[in-house]
A and B are shown apart, each in its own frame.
Chain A
Amino acid sequence: MNLKRLISFLAVTAVICTVVATEQTFAEEPSSITDFQLTQIRVRCKEVQASLSRVHANDALLRVNRGQLYERLSTKLMVPLNSRIAVNRLDGSSLLSVTSNYDRHLGEFRINYKAYEEQLSTTMRIDCTKQPASFYESLKSSRDKRRSVYESAQQLAKDIGEYRQAFTDFSKPYREKQS
């Protein structure tokens, strides 16, 4: 009985050690950063942090200004036009479809920006003189999240173009009729 307990204990200990060792291995897995870059980060830490602060502040401004425009396009232009078309009992299904996509992408843009801002703030809090590798990993994650924000902004720009095209198609018969 005691032997069984001892074996079980050893087995559990071995599993725990393996898990911990594996995690350690992953944590210490050599990243794409080189020794030269690590030195650069340590030496230029303050400079890099200042650049990140500038990017952080400018992005916040861009988010506010761009966000206002995106919101206004939807609430002040697309939605009222769709309502007006519906009130006049006309077919605006293509415009409605684009508006729906636009609103969905706008939601994604908000979520992606929030995730990016939080990640960049985390990166800025890391002491790059003491933890250059962690700093770089966090910076890479910030880049990935910024790319998602960029893609969302691109998607919104595409939707804005599609809505314009849908409106041109919709208004064509009315223009021809009246000209």
Chain B
Amino acid sequence: MNDELHEERRAYRLAKNRFVVMLASSIAVALLLVTIAMILYTTSGTAQLDLSRPGYTDVRDKINSDLGLSTFPSTGEINKEAIASFEKLYDETAKQATSINAFEDGVLSDEALRINDNPAATANQ
């Protein structure tokens, strides 16, 4: 009788432990996968393109989602029409890609941030 009871308790403990181990290992695997995902997210440069992050609310709706640019066909003859078609597509896109001097360093200058060394200049700003 005692043996049976003991065996039953042992089986119950084992089953309970298995459940706890399963829960703990599930959490550990989930944490590991999230960590790997976060490392990839930050190291790959995706984080810099993710405008859904806090702080980008104002600019989020200004993304050019429809650039209207079609792909130039990679097959076919090279003739006058193909050349004209490529020129048109290329010039349109090139114009957009070079329209402004992007990332000029003036916006981070002392003057722009109003922390320049000239008291008079700072007072006038």
Q: Do most interface residues of chain B lie in helix, strand or loop, or is the interface mixed?
A: loop
Query: Chain A residue with minimal CB distance to B107?
Result: A55
Residue of B nearest to A84 (CB): B74
Q: How large is the interface on A (under 10, 10 to 19, 20 to 34, 35 or more residues)?
A: 35 or more
Q: Is the CB of A175 within 8 A of B83?
A: yes
A12→B109 CA distance, assembly (Å): 45
Interface membership of chain B positions 70-86, coded 1 if the CB is closer than 8 angstroms to chain A and 0 otherwise: 11111111111011001
Cross-chain pair count, CB within 8 angstroms: 156
Residues of B within 8 A of A161 (CB): 94, 98
A171 to B101 CA separation, bound complex (whole angstroms): 29
Verify if A87 is at the interface (C-beta below 8 Å from B): yes
Residues of B41-70 whose CB lies within 8 A of A? 45, 48-49, 51, 55-56, 58-59, 62-64, 67, 69-70
Known: A69-B96, A81-B86. A60 touches B56 (CB 8 A): yes
Does A147 lie at the interface of the complex (its beta carbon under 8 Å from any beta carbon of B)?
yes
* Cβ-closest chain A residue relative to B43: A114
Q: Which of A2-10, A13-21, A44-52 binds B?
A: A44-52
B105 at interface by CB-CB < 8 Å: yes
The interface-forming segment of B12-20, B28-36, B113-121 is B113-121
Q: Which applies to chain A's interface (DSSP): helix, strand, loop or mixed? A: helix
Complex interface: chain B residues within 8 A of A48 (CB): 113-115
**B57 to chain A: closest residue by CB:** A57
- Structural contact, B108 and A80, CB atoms closer than 8 A: no
- The residue of chain B having its C-beta at the shortest distance from the C-beta of A80 within the complex is B74
Complex Cα–Cα for A9 and B37 (A): 48
Could you tell me if B67 and A69 are in contact, using CB atoms closer than 8 angstroms? yes
Interface residues, chain A, CB within 8 Å of chain B?
34, 36-37, 40-41, 44, 47-48, 51-53, 55-70, 72-73, 76-77, 79-81, 83-85, 87-88, 90, 110-111, 113-114, 117, 136, 139, 142-143, 146-147, 149-150, 153-154, 156-157, 160-161, 163-164, 167, 171, 174-175, 178
A-B contact pairs, 15 of them (CB 8 A): A36-B119, A52-B113, A55-B108, A59-B103, A61-B56, A61-B63, A62-B103, A72-B93, A81-B74, A136-B115, A143-B108, A157-B98, A160-B97, A167-B86, A178-B79
Q: Interface residues, chain B, CB within 8 Å of chain A?
A: 45, 48-49, 51, 55-56, 58-59, 62-64, 67, 69-80, 82-83, 86-87, 89-91, 93-94, 96-98, 101-105, 107-110, 112-117, 119, 122
